[in-house]
Amino acid sequence: MVKRSSMWLFLLLSILAADAPASDRAVAFQQEKRWFAGFAGATTQARFTVEGDAGSSVTSLDDALYLRAGRFGRPMRYGVDLMRVRFDEAETWTVTGFLDYVISGGDLLSGYIGITAGGSTLRWRDSDPFDGGGRFGARGDRVNSPVAGLRAGGLIEVTEIVQVEIGYRFLWTNFEDDFDDGTLSGSVEGRNQRAIHAGVNFRFR
């Protein structure tokens, strides 16, 4: 479902990508500086499920560090980002590329909708919220997963250099691993991440 939604959104963004008249451009494109780099704090949610002897599931919530860099290219914005989340169950590092369609919202505000895709690495931690199973990922501490998702948010132009960004991102993930501590065994999964983020971008060049 997420892959199909991403495909349709990509087609929509492609149709909208024709350059708009100068008077209709979002304020984010009226600045001379096209490149940007920024950081944000994020609150991220994921679901972890254990199958087998220790069958259970938990929804985990934690704060994250979010770094990004990219370029405004009328009427699209594109770039790469990095997010680190340290859940009780696992730590994830995620690198994605993104493509946003930027929408005019007035003299200071621009909105955006977009797609994102990349890869993520997960390292299981020692804590055990399921009361059984010892250490998750006992047969392999690290697992990888492709990721894809949708994003939306707003951009506020504070100065010619400083821009505030607030947004939401949904990522489809599919981490799977086996565990066996000698007493209990089974498989554990980490599915999907939802993040709300707020931070600052610095524009240059």
Q: What is the DSSP letter of 20?
A: P
pLDDT at 19: 43
- CA distances to 54, 71, 87 from 47, rounded to whole Å, are 16, 33, 10
Structure tokens at 187: 């498989």
By the 8 A CB rule, do 89 and 124 touch? yes
List the domains of the chain with CATH numbers: 2-16+25-196 (2.40.160.20)
Report phi then psi at 27, rounded to 5: -60, -25
Least confidently predicted of 38-52, 72-86, 121-135? 121-135
pLDDT at 120: 97
pLDDT in tens, 139-196: 446 889 999 999 999 999 999 899 999 999 999 998 887 766 666 667 778 889 999 9
Q: Hunting for tokens 């930027």 — which residue is that?
A: 102
Give every CB contact of residue 92 below 8 A, 6+ residues apart in sequence: 46, 83, 84, 85, 120, 121, 122, 123, 190, 193
Average pLDDT over residues 86-92: 86
* Continuous H helices in the chain: 2-16
